[in-house]
Amino acid sequence: MAVIGFIGLGNMGGPMAANLVKAGHKVTGFDLVPAALDALKAAGGSVAASASEAVKGAEIVITMLPAGEHVRQVWLHQGGLIDVVKDTKPLLIDCSTIDVDSARTATAAAAEAGMTMLDAPVSGGTVGAANGTLTFMVGGDEEAFAKGLPILQGMGKNIFHAGGPGAGQAVKICNNMMLAINMIGVAEGFILAEKLGLDWMKLHAICTTATSNSFALSNYCPAPGPTPASPANRDYAPGFMTALMLKDVKLSQAAAEATGVATPMAALAASLYQATVDAGDATKDFSVVFRLLENMKRG
């Protein structure tokens, strides 16, 4: 049993913190949204009035925040968590998906204060978070990974040590770039299939056993019907918000720019998710790109 401070109790952090409670840990959480605090209380955790209060006496501090700017603000800004916990020196774990630079900056600041930080982004969506079946891709040194492993096992099923600091974020950015492109491919297939007079259920049944099978197709179909748990069946309630997917594809494009790698499909995917956001669907699940494509005319 560990004493854990958990900051960021949103679509992912909420169920992850609840699973840590279920695993027998003593979890104190903080979020800016009162409803998120109520949910952790209902799950048996404790809540605090601020991030600093939530991490008091913690052996492990976990953050699950939207983007790099929030992570830098919570950890590094004046009165940030690294300063707050520098005397007690817990293990620090950031599970948010952020740019590699912010991850390495936070890790370096932690090291300067005598602490270790793991970058441990996740894959598996809100269903994986609720079921405790997330995949974790972890960057950091071996010793810190070994210490964090039993905690991460309370929230996930597949826990990988990807390499040194920032390696977890690097894997995550590549993973989401591939998913972003793949989701659009599946959406285009279903739209074309309908115009060809095919039944979506049949298309799905056939293609999940054929060469186009993928996570987006088999678990997260963007067309309503074939995968009952997917956001498409609840008017694209997230899930994983389009704004966050756009953030991740942009992270991949910044990394591609920095390394001189050509990623033409991801560049096009970024423009389609941007158009989805511009159409007012930033807070819908990213599979709502299906609707944008459905309404596009061949030109």
Q: To the nearest 10°, the Cα dihedral for 281, 284, 290, 294? A: -40
Contact between 157 and 130 (Cβ < 8 Å)? no
Position 182 contacts ligand NAD (CB under 6 A): no
Least Å from the CB of residue 7 to ligand NAD: 5
For residues 139 to 178, the per-residue mask of contacts with ligand NAD, x marking binding by CB under 6 A and - elsewhere, is ----------------------------------------
In sequence order, the 6+-apart residues with CB closer than 8 A to the CB of 20 are: 4, 6, 27, 45, 151, 154, 155
Least Å from the CB of residue 196 to ligand NAD: 31
Annotated catalytic residue within 22, 89, 172, 202? 172
Q: Which is nearer to ligand NAD, 190 or 220 (CB)?
A: 220
Contact between 93 and 148 (Cβ < 8 Å)? yes
Q: Which is nearer to ligand NAD, 7 or 183 (CB)?
A: 7
Closest CA to 154 of 120, 107, 179, 117: 120
Closest CA to 169 of 253, 244, 238, 252: 252
Q: Which is nearer to ligand NAD, 80 or 163 (CB)?
A: 80
Position 8 contacts ligand NAD (CB under 6 A): yes
Phi-psi region of 139 (alpha: psi -120 to 50; beta: other; left: phi over 0): beta
Closest CA to 251 of 178, 140, 182, 177: 177
20, 27, 47, 74: which one binds ligand NAD (CB under 6 A):
74
Catalytic: 172?
yes
Residue ranges in contact with ligand NAD by CB under 6 A: 7-13, 30-33, 36, 51, 64-66, 70, 73-74, 96-97, 122-123, 125-126, 239-240, 244
Catalytic residues: 172
